[in-house]
Amino acid sequence: MKTSVIGYPRIGAERELKFASEKFFKGELDENGLEAVAKEIKSKNYKKQQEAGISFISSNDFSYYDNVLDTAVLFNIVPKRYKELGLSELETYFALARGYQGEKGNVKALALKKWFNTNYHYLVPEIDDDSEVKLVGDKPLKEYKEALSQGVETKVLLTGPFTFISLAKYTGEKKKTDFVDAFISEYTKLLGELNDAGVKWVQFDEPYLVRDLSDQDKELFKKIYTQLLAAKKNVKVLVQTYFGDVRDIYTALSELDFDGVGLDFTEGRKTFELVTENGFPAGKLLFAGLVNGKNIWRNNYAKTIDIIKKLKNVEGISDENLVLSTSCSLLHVPYSLAGEDKLPENYKKHFAFAEEKLVEIAELSKLADYAASSNVATVDSFKNNQALFASRDDSVDEAVKSRVASIKESDYTRLPEFHEREKIQKQRLGLPLFPTTTIGSFPQTAEVRKNRSQFRKGEITKEEYIDFNKKKIAECIALQEEIGLDVIVHGEFERNDMVEYFGEHLAGYVFTKNAWVQSYGTRCVKPPIIWGDVSRKEAITVPWSVYAKSCTDKPVKGMLTGPVTILNWSFPREDISIKESVLQIALAIRDEVLDLEANGIDIIQIDEAALREKLPLRKSDWYSEYLDFAIPAFRLVHSGVKPETQIHTHMCYSEFTDIIPAIDAMDADVITFEASRSDLQILDSLKENNFKTEVGPGVYDIHSPRVPSVEEIVASLTKMRERIDDNKLWVNPDCGLKTRGDEETKASLINLVKATKEIRG
Is 332 annotated as catalytic? no
Strands 154-159 and 169-170: unpaired
C-alpha 573/C-alpha 639 separation (Å) is: 27
Q: What is the dihedral of CA 295, 296, 297, 303, to 10 degrees?
A: 50
Tell me if 156 sits within 8 A of 140, measured CB to CB: yes
Query: Rounded to 5 degrees, what are φ and ψ at 652?
Result: -150, 155
Length of the chain: 761
CA dihedral for 134, 137, 143, 149, sign (positive or negative): positive
C-alpha 161/C-alpha 224 separation (Å) is: 8
* DSSP per-residue codes, 103-170: TTEEEPPPPEEE-TTSS-EEEPPEE-TT--------HHHHHHHHHHTTT--EEEEEE-HHHHHHH-EE
| 3-class SS string, 512-559 | CCCCCEEEECCEEECCCEEEEEEEECCCCCHHHHHHHHHCCCCCEEEE
Tell me if 238 sits within 8 A of 259, measured CB to CB: yes
Q: Which of 490, 638, 648, 703 is flagged as catalytic?
A: 703
| 3-class SS string, 635-688 | HHHHCCCCCCCEEEEEECCCCCHHHHHHHHCCCCCEEEECCCCCCCCHHHHHHH
Which amino acid is residue 330, in one-letter code?
Answer: L
End-to-end CA distance of the chain: 71
Strands 506-510 and 529-536: antiparallel
Which helix (H) or strand (E) covers residue 202, if one does?
Answer: strand 201-205
Tell me if 363 sits within 8 A of 305, measured CB to CB: no
739, exposed or middle or buried, with CB in 10 Å at 0-12, 13-18, 19+?
Answer: middle
C-alpha 83/C-alpha 96 separation (Å) is: 10
- Catalytic positions: 703
